[in-house]
Amino acid sequence: MATRGEAHDGAVRRLRAAIAEQDRLTYLYEAAIGTSTEATADDARRGADQQVMARDAWLQWVDDDGYRGLNAGPFALRRELED
């Protein structure tokens, strides 16, 4: 299981990669405005926007004081509550 620091570092790396992809796709979209590829480029850009929001939410969750690890599903929570 990843430590809290490892999970944070991984979340930051994934967020930075998503932001870089968002920037790249935004540039391509802006170049495609007024062309036949505008709609496709806009869809890709919007998908990248969603990825950035998801990665940011994940980072916030990892940094939350209630973080119990990557493998902490509902059964792990139940065991914690029973102990």
Full domain range(s) for residue 14: 4-82
The predicted model scores a pTM of 0.75
Q: What is the pLDDT of residue 7?
A: 87
Token pair recorded at residue 83: 């102990």
pLDDT(61) > 80: yes
The count of domains in the chain is 1
**Integer CA distances (angstroms), 22 to 7, 26, 49, 61, in order:** 22, 6, 6, 21
Q: What's the mean pLDDT when you consider all of the chain?
A: 86
Q: What angle do CA 47, 15, 9 make, to 5 degrees?
A: 155
- Cα distance between residue 74 and residue 34, in whole Å: 49
Q: What is the pLDDT of residue 3?
A: 79
Q: What is the pLDDT of residue 70?
A: 58
| Cβ neighbours around 25 below 10 Å, total | 20
What amino acid occupies position 4?
R
Dihedral over Cα of 11, 17, 23, 29: its sign:
negative
